[in-house]
Amino acid sequence: MDNKEKTIELIIANKKLAFQNQEKEKRAHELVSANKELAFQKKEKDKRAAELLLANKELAYQNEQKDKRAAELVLANEELAYQNEQKDKRAAELILANEELAYQKELKKKRASELSNSNKEVDDLEKRVKERTEDLESFSYSVSHDLRTPLRAINGYAKMLEEDYGTVLDAEGLRFLGEVRSNANKMGVLIDDLLTFSRLGRKGITKSTVDMNMLLETVLSALNQSMTHNAEIKFSNLLLAVADYNLLQHVLTNLLLNAIKYSSKKEKPMIEIKSEQKNGEIIYSISDNGVGFDMQYGNKLFGVFQRLHDDEEFSGNGVGLAIVKRIIDKHDGNVWAVGKEGQGATFYFSLPDNDK
């Protein structure tokens, strides 16, 4: 082969090589583009995978929320059913309540009518009681007043008999005469007490501010002059009272006489007077260490002629405490007593506290 042919072959070979290199570069370029596209597709795939993962999580959350809402809806339906049931129950109860209200209203109307009739009967009864009380007080006053004249005559003749014929009578006769005079005196005291008790029913009251300490000093001074006793009587700083001075003097006199009498058999009789403010009232108490009394008979203490002890044991007529009660009642107060046999007693009376 000559040089020309070799040159031609070489040229042809170079062209083929150049074409192949060009094709190779083209393929390399395509391969780079393909790799880029592949990388882009992979990136997009990863992006889509991440988005899918988020979407799955969101779907799972939504499903969870859906289940939660479904459970809440079930509970809400159950609560609604319960509320409807309660509503029906309340409706039934309301019907019963309305029926009961209608019945109570009718009953109230009936009771109001009965009460009106009852009040009328009570008013009529109070009127009759007032009339009878006034008649009884008038009768008591009249009888007590009329008894004084023959009683004074009995006492007077007994005294003259003793003075003029005392030397003629023997010891037994003198004793009988003494009994007549003693009982006449007792009867006189009883009549005076009954008159006092009767007058109190008609007597009005004149209230003023009373210094109880000074009033008690006055009462004790009068008692000490009229009788002999060895009771130790203590009091101090008693509260002021708004009451009728003279009537309150009666109250303190009778309660102190009572305490002195029933503690007189003690070796050291003790009496104490106190006062306190309580529940809109001023409460005064007179305590003694005397014989006391059985509380089951305490309701008898303030009745007329009611006594818990024999006259041989302790003298009295059963009117003094009744006078105390009547006076305190007229002042819109209360009177009561607490005691125990052999351990003394405490008598209380209360008056409205005008500072309240």
Q: pLDDT tens digits for the chain (356 residues)?
A: 577 888 888 888 888 888 888 888 888 888 888 888 888 888 888 898 888 888 889 888 888 898 898 888 888 888 888 988 898 898 888 889 888 888 998 888 888 888 888 778 877 777 776 666 665 566 566 665 666 677 777 778 778 877 887 787 788 888 887 778 777 776 776 676 666 666 665 667 788 999 999 999 999 998 888 888 888 899 889 999 999 898 898 889 989 988 888 888 888 899 999 999 998 899 999 999 988 887 776 677 776 555 555 555 545 546 778 888 888 988 899 999 898 888 889 999 999 987 65
Q: Using only C-alpha atoms, what is the Rg of the chain?
A: 58
SS3 67: helix
d(CA 195, CA 187): 12
Residue-wise DSSP of 121-145? HHHHHHHHHHHHHHHHHHHHHHHHH
Output the CA–CA distances (angstroms, integers) from residue 273 to 212, 234, 235, 238, 284, in the order listed. Answer: 10, 6, 5, 8, 7
Please give the single-letter amino acid code of residue 254.
N
Domain borders along the chain are: 207-356
Stated pTM of the model: 0.52
The CATH superfamily of 207-356 is Histidine kinase-like ATPase, C-terminal domain (3.30.565.10)
Whether the CB-CB separation of 282 and 275 falls below 8 Å is answered with: yes
Secondary structure letter of residue 341 according to DSSP: T
Whether the CB-CB separation of 330 and 253 falls below 8 Å is answered with: no
Q: Identify the CA nearest to 263 among candidates 348, 347, 189.
A: 347
